[in-house]
């Protein structure tokens, strides 16, 4: 356990950041799953709408440092490829 005052504060901040990061990551994963669910259902218009909602969430996770930009680009590219294949 942290003994010094600054180490205790750091531990509090780390816990707060961990919870924020977890919620942001969950939001991104949920938006990706919505796109995949629409693709599985074969509904192109719903997939496109879900994709347009997912892209800003993915981009935000990159700017927050939760996801690497190449991983975000890979997700967007693959989702878009699946939508175009419908």
- Which tens digits make up the pLDDT trace of 3-34? 899 999 999 999 999 999 999 999 999 999 99
Neighbours of 23 (CB within 10 A): 9
The pLDDT value given to residue 1: 72
What average pLDDT is seen over the chain?
A: 95
Domain annotation for the chain: domains and CATH numbers: 5-85 (1.20.58.110)
Tell me how far apart the alpha carbons of residues 56 and 60 are, in angstroms, rounded to a whole number. Answer: 6
């Amino acid at each position: 356990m942290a003994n010094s005052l600054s180490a205790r504060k750091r531990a509090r901040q780390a816990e707060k950041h961990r919870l924020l990061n977890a919620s942001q990551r969950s939001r991104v994963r949920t938006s990706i799953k919505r796109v995949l669910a629409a693709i599985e259902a074969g509904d192109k218009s719903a997939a496109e709408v879900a994709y347009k909602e997912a892209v800003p969430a993915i981009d935000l996770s990159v700017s927050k440092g939760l996801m690497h930009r190449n991983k975000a680009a890979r997700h967007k590219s693959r989702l878009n490829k699946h939508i175009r294949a419908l």
